[in-house]
Each structure stands twice: as C-alpha cells, then as structure tokens.
Amino acid sequence: MSFPKSISATLPFAAGLLIALAAGWAAFPRAIYKTVRQPVNFSHKVHAEKGGQKCDDCHSFRADGSFAGVPTLDKCAACHAVPMGTSADEKSFIDQYVTPNREPHWLVYARQPENVYFSHVTHVKVAGMKCESCHGDEGSTDSLRPYQEDRISTYSRDIWGRPAAHSLFRTAGGMKMDDCVDCHRRQGLAHSCLDCHK
C-alpha cells in the first residue's frame, strides 16, 4: 500500500513532532525541578499510631496564634533523647541531630510565596478545618516523599501542583490559589485579592 505524496511527506514530520512532544513531556519536569531528600526519613504513621501523636502535638500554634510550622529539635528531643525503638532512621536522627543539638533543615512542602498571607489559625481554629483538607493524608505515611523544588522560584512543586496524571487520583484539597478560591466559593465566602495577597 502506498500513500499519496503529500501524506508520505507529512508523516515523518508528524512522527517527529509526536516524539519531540513526548520527550518534552518527560524531560521538562526534570529540567525545572530538582529533587532533594529530607534530612531524616520520618514516619508520620509510627508517631500517630504507636506514639499517639496528633498533628498539633508537633505542628502547633504559638501563644500569639501564629503557626509554628515544622517542629524544632527541642520537641523531637523531648522524646528522642535516647532511642525508643530499633529503627536505623531513629538512631541516625539521634546521632546526627539530637546528640550534637543540631537543628535538621526540613524542607517545607507547603511554603507559600512571599506575597501570600495564609492564616492557619483562621482555617483550623475558627473554621474548624482538618489538616488533611489541604495537606492530604500525611498522618498515614511511613516516610517523607522527596521534596521537589522549582529551580527558578525555589518553591515546592506542591504549591504549583502535581502533573495532571497525579491530580486525577488526588482526594484532598490543594495549596494552589485555585484550590483556595474553589473552597471559599463552596463555603459562600467572598474576598478581595488583598485578603490573601499583601
């Protein structure tokens, strides 16, 4: 079977275009994002199930109502001055951070851009939202996933969103502006841009 001359001339171009698009789809995220491991392989699941910890036991509010975010070493060292189990990760954490009294440099998946003001206390204490609404089911994870940082903006990939294929399976809310706006609309809340952007 032979194709007409115009189709046979177009076929290599179309095949090349498809190959280039597929290669770009696969390579572009690797070029934009660098993957960095967290300093310690932390298990939320062990702390929640075996330790009986709740989110706000470690991710708490300060006396002035501001959110403390990632716990400091003193919160961890209160329980982990000596190993509580036989985990190599726990032993490594004690040896590298607790014993020398050195703060781990945790990479924050949810660090918002500098021009965004987000009040955890308003959402958690006033609106009664659960942490899982935005952060997903972190409490059941056995390890921290790698942190992916945008090489240009230095923000986490979580802020800008995951690839479309992953978002189809996402059950919780997100941390992009559209996610916030959608949630506020569902709650019947109207705001101006300056409520969140300072």
CA–CA gap between residue 135 and residue 173 (Å, rounded): 7
Q: Is the pLDDT reported for residue 169 higher than 50?
A: no
Residue 66 resides in a domain:
no
Residue 158 resides in a domain:
yes
**Best-predicted range by mean pLDDT (60-64, 102-106, 176-180):** 102-106
Per cent of the chain over pLDDT 70 is: 88
Q: Give the mean pLDDT of 13-21.
A: 86
Residue 131 resides in a domain:
yes
What is the average pLDDT value for the chain, to the nearest integer?
83
Q: Give the mean pLDDT of 46-67.
A: 86
Residue 173 resides in a domain:
yes
Residue 98, pLDDT score = 94
CA–CA gap between residue 1 and residue 174 (Å, rounded): 52
Query: Per residue in 82-129, pLDDT tens?
Result: 888 888 889 999 999 999 999 999 998 888 888 888 888 889 888 999
Co-location of 30 and 113 in the same domain: no
Residue 133 resides in a domain:
yes
Range of 30's domain?
1-34
Asked whether the whole model's pTM tops 0.85, one would answer: no
CA–CA gap between residue 112 and residue 147 (Å, rounded): 15
Residue 99, pLDDT score = 94
Residue 153 resides in a domain:
yes
Number of compact structural domains in the chain: 2
Residue 87 resides in a domain:
no
Residue 188 resides in a domain:
yes
- As given in the structure block, the two tokens for residue 79 are 């329980």
Q: Is the pLDDT reported for residue 51 higher than 50?
A: yes
